[in-house]
Structure 1
Amino acid sequence: MGKDGKDAHRVTATLTKQQHAEMARIARKYGMTTAWLVRRACERLIEQENGGPLLPLALGETNA
């Protein structure tokens, strides 16, 4: 996704308080944003549904 947003579509999701707290905790742990975690989770779900390879989540990598 480009920083200019030209190749993006904004989505709004409602999380439970517990889900939000866990996402924030994971994001802090790895020094990334919750938005990045959500985008990566979407990528993983799409890979799984398409029968593609399930690569490691690689939370330590910010360029994934």
Structure 2
Amino acid sequence: MGLDGADARRVTTTLSTTRKAQLERLARREGVKEAWIVRRALEKYLDKVGDGSVVEAEGER
């Protein structure tokens, strides 16, 4: 994503109460925004998975 957000699109998701609280604590501890953590985690995950199938790999069908 560009610094100005020009090459970005918004994504909305829902977390369980437990995961949201965990995200809030982590963001406070690290001194960053929750969105930054979510973006960073997703970027790392997508780099790892590539274009493979996440759904079928985890048997979630």
Q: TM-score range by the shorter chain?
A: 0.7 to 0.9
- Structure with the higher helix share, 1 or 2: 2
Provide the TM-score with structure 1 as the length reference. Answer: 0.71
Task: Give, in whole Å, the separation in 1 of the partners of 2:17 and 2:2.
Answer: 30
Gaps in structure 1 of 5+ consecutive residues: 51-64
RMSD (Å), alpha carbons: 1.1
Provide the TM-score with structure 2 as the length reference. Answer: 0.74
Tell me the matched-pair count: 50
Check if 1:34 corresponds to 2:24: no
Q: Give, in angstroms, the shift of residue 5 of structure 1.
A: 2.4
Structure 1, residues 2-50: CA drift from partner, whole Å, max 9, x if none? 3432100100000111110000000001100100000001111111112
Q: Percent identity?
A: 46
Gaps in structure 2 of 5+ consecutive residues: 51-61
Check if 1:14 corresponds to 2:14: yes
The structure whose Rg is larger is 2
